[in-house]
A and B are shown apart, each in its own frame.
Chain A
Amino acid sequence: MAGKTTKHELKSNTVPAMVTVGPVALLLLFLVVAPLIFVAVMSFCETDEFYNVVYSFTAENYAKLVSPEYIKIYAQSLLIAFITTVLCVLIGYPFAYIIARTKSKKKQLLYMLVIIPFWTNSLIRIYGWRTFLGSSGWLNKLLVFLNITPEPLDLLYKTGTTVLGMVYCFIPFMVLPLYTAIEKLDTSLLEASGDLGAKPLNTLIEVILPLTSGGIFSGCIMVFIPCLGYFFVSNILGGGNTDMIGNLIERQFKSANNWPLGAALSIILIIVTLILVKIYQKLGGDMDSLGV
């Protein structure tokens, strides 16, 4: 009885859902849902000879997307995103492990090292890399000065350069979920494993990796998906040699001025993303750790 009354009181004292959730819902409606519908509608439109969008219904844009040169770029995007993700795991895991297992004050410092780059715009940081790697950049100057190479190396505008920039941009997105997962790991499990005769490598394979797989998984999703759309990294560091889906979209909206085609490309990217998130969910991934 008592429980029931409190429940009732609670309900009557609560601010109506319209007031609490309403404004947020309205905001989302205007800033997310409406533009998405707009993009979807536009992907079926045409352009006239002056590049103006003509509202009509045609599947031509989608038909264009299956041309071999586009498919090559999709494949390249997926490949670059995949390599980036793998490298992020390989570099990020040990780093996240060290931060999570450090007990002293150094932990704060290490954690800050991951966070601080966020304080500068990523575009500026990528330009920084271009300056650093350029033929008259510091790296080449140093290499020449140390007589390692007689002439400056051609480091820019290669697939590897794009991957480097991507890894650099996305490593915090990998480290943070990994850090959370490793932090949660019960130390006594590692002790138990060693106590039962497991060498450190066996403990890693049998206990640490399976118990932090959720973090690895979240990190991969957080890196792989945005990586497909990060056009400016391949623009600046890849110099147009390593185009990704993001670059195609950007070009349609800007230089090519073909908004309907760009919209169709965007829709494809959104669908790919949704499929990946769905797979993640199906495999038991935690949606909270993605921030959705």
Chain B
Amino acid sequence: MSTIVELTGVNKLYGTNHVVKDLNIKVDEGEFLTLLGSSGCGKTTTLRMIAGFEEPTTGSIKVEGESIEEKEPFERNVNTVFQTYALFPHKTIFDNIAYGLKMKKVPKAEIRERVLEMMEMVQLTGFENRYPSQLSGGQKQRVAIARALINRPRVLLLDEPLGALDLKLRKQMQLELKRLQKKLNITFIYVTHDQEEALTMSDRIAIMHDGVVDQLSTPTEIYEHPATRFVATFIGETNIYDGCVTSVHEGVATVTLENGAVKVKCDDSFSILEYATVSVRPEKMRFDSKMHEGFELVAVVKDYVYVGSVLKCIVSLPNGNELKIERLAGQELPQIGSRIYPYWEPEDGVLIHNDSYKIFKALDEIKLA
């Protein structure tokens, strides 16, 4: 697969506000890439730089191998679907969708044919002569998508396109967008703060945090092997333990936490006495009435939460930290207040380098010097 969009060392500063920090992303042709992060993480700014509405302070952006910094938005072969739809209120739906072709001076007959075909694709046939103000949110959204797609862009940029829709419509549009993307084989770069949306739709997700991409990987990889503590807590629910690696033996590390030692699978990059974080998803957590080999955690059952398909058990550790454990099918429920011993299979946990560890290490080196 060839690279269609490439960001190299992209930085963006507004005054002294460093919004996007040294971004390096390669987007493959035909893929659905999502920039995921909470508001203010720099994801929209990144998208706007690719669209040409903002210029990177430093770094380069290439589309189809061509540097595009010098090109104005109207010269770029990318199109954008705006968060607010940005439909032209004084133009009919037909004229809105036809706008891009009209600007390219496509013959009228061809415009008509392509607009009607596109309207059929987004299920808007019969709405040609209406105005945007006469449409519902979902319909406006379809117009915005049709208006961008009719130009047959190589890359489509979508800035939280479903943000203003209600949950049910959003779910439906998610599937429709994905279907359109596969059908037309256009590269989608999608910005959202909704992790579920990102997990459902994307081929790959770039998780942004404070202007930095923390992890760029497939949804499964991100969920099962979060690269940073932030990613682990941001995506899905998890139990987080900060501790110190006390031994590494045959790919399994023993990590000593405030409440006792635990075991977790790890790779070669971890060394003894390193500060690290253990992340274990609630569905991977187990508990028993007796202590398991290598796990010294003791907890007290505090509450049960019923969330539809599963029952979650909230337990509390001696230091007050709470853990969430999903009950296994048919497992006997201990009474609230009773003592249990949480554990997990070492390969079900994820060991993550703790950033603060690097700081401690750097401080140590300064002291030694």
Contact = CB atoms under 8 A, between A and B. Distances in A.
A191 B74 contact: no
Contact of A196 (B53, B89, B90, B100): B100
Given A207-B88, A210-B90, A192 B80 contact: yes
B315 interface: no
A198 B90 contact: no
A69 interface: no
Contacts of A189: 86, 88
B82 interface: yes
B138 interface: no
Given A191-B53, A193-B99, A210-B90, A198 B84 contact: no
Chain B interface size band reads 20 to 34
A192 B72 contact: no
B74 A198 contact: yes
Interface in B84-99: 84, 86-90, 99
B5 to A, nearest CB: 16
A199 B78 CA distance: 15
Interface residues of A, number: 17
Given A191-B53, A207-B88, A196 B103 contact: yes
A194 interface: yes
Interface string A135-173: 000000000000000000000000000000000000000
A60 interface: no
B229 to A, nearest CB: 36
A39 B100 CA distance: 58
A259 B89 CA distance: 52
A193 B90 CA distance: 13
Interface in B16-46: none
A195 B73 contact: yes
Contacts of B51: 191, 195
Nearest to B75: A197
Which of the listed residues A186, A189, A202 has the most CB atoms from chain B within 10 Å of its own CB? A189
Interface in B55-94: 72-74, 78-80, 82, 84, 86-90
Which of the listed residues A197, A202, A206, A211 has the most CB atoms from chain B within 10 Å of its own CB? A197
Contact of B100 (A186, A188, A197, A207): A197
Given A197-B100, A197-B151, A192 B74 contact: no
Contact of B103 (A186, A188, A202): A202
Contact of B86 (A186, A202, A210, A211): A186
Contact of B147 (A186, A196, A199, A202): A196
Nearest to A189: B86
Contacts of A206: 88, 99
Contact of B74 (A186, A199, A210): A199
Interface string A179-193: 000000010110111
A101 to B, nearest CB: 14
Nearest to B104: A197
A52 to B, nearest CB: 59
A98 to B, nearest CB: 20
B99 A196 contact: yes
A184 to B, nearest CB: 11
Given A191-B53, A211-B89, A211-B90, A196 B82 contact: no
A210 B90 CA distance: 7
B82 A194 contact: no
B156 to A, nearest CB: 11
A181 to B, nearest CB: 13
Nearest to A207: B88
Contacts of A195: 51-53, 73-74, 78-80, 148
A198 B86 CA distance: 15
Interface in A189-228: 189, 191-199, 202, 206-207, 210-211
Contacts of A211: 88-90
B84 A188 contact: yes
Contact of A194 (B73, B88, B104): B73
A206 B99 CA distance: 9
Which of the listed residues B78, B82, B147, B151 has the most CB atoms from chain A within 10 Å of its own CB? B82
B84 A196 contact: no
A17 B89 CA distance: 40
Interface of B: 51-53, 72-74, 78-80, 82, 84, 86-90, 99-100, 103-104, 147-148, 151
Interface of A: 186, 188-189, 191-199, 202, 206-207, 210-211
Given A194-B74, A196-B103, 6 more contacts: A188-B86, A192-B82, A195-B148, A196-B151, A197-B151, A211-B89
20 contacts: A186-B84, A191-B51, A191-B53, A191-B73, A191-B82, A191-B86, A194-B52, A195-B51, A195-B53, A195-B73, A195-B74, A195-B79, A195-B148, A196-B99, A196-B151, A197-B100, A197-B104, A198-B103, A199-B74, A199-B103
